[in-house]
Amino acid sequence: MLVGIENSVKKTLYTISSKEIFMKRTTLGILIVVLGVISCLDIHARRSDEDDNTPDTRIFAAYGVLGAQVVIEGLSDLLAIGLTGGIVESGDWSGVGGPITVGVQGRWTGLLDWGIEAGYASFTKTYTYRRTAVPDSAFSYTNTYYHVMGRLDAIWIRGEGVKAYSSVALGAGLLHQSGRTSDDSQSDIFPAFQGTLLGIRFGDAISVFGELGFGFRGLLVVGAAVKL
């Protein structure tokens, strides 16, 4: 009887001991797995941070349509007609070019890119000067716009071969107006800007991009960039 009880106690103790060993080994295994996962995530996070801070310098060229220059030209026409009481009438526009923009961009942080750009646009317009005493006469002016701006891009998506962003750019511009004679020529300095609601770039070493915004780069902008 005592032998049976002793054997039963031994079996119980052995079972408890086996369960404890199993639990300890299981717990140890879980801890090892958790530590391994944490270590892998930490390494991945460090690599991601390193990738985010890796220089990504590119030179780019872009062409835009319906830039702020067009708005300025349209307002100047309305102003000329209004101030002269209709004696001066706006005619055809020719030689419309740009805005053409070239610049350089680079990575600042994982969420921000920096950039510097220069732009050009030119418009030649014909006006008719209507007077009652003499026949009507026509004359033309060529307005050329230059600008330099610094830009900052906020990154929404930065993936393999793709980038989505919004941006703001501020700087200064020069408007040079040339007419029939040197007396008709003048230059003015003005503030330049560009706000981009959404831009998307595809490609790595050589990429193409499109932007939707408003300012001296244009309302709709398309371009290409080359990674240095």
Quick: pLDDT tens for 12-21: 434 445 545 5
Assess contact for 124 and 95: CB atoms under 8 A: yes
Residues 116, 62, 143, CA angle at the centre, nearest 5°?
85
Quick: pLDDT tens for 140-155: 778 889 999 999 999 9
Provide the 3-class DSSP secondary structure of residue 79.
Answer: helix
| Secondary element (H or E) of residue 39 | helix 2-52
Assess contact for 107 and 55: CB atoms under 8 A: yes
What is the predicted pLDDT for the residue at 170? 95
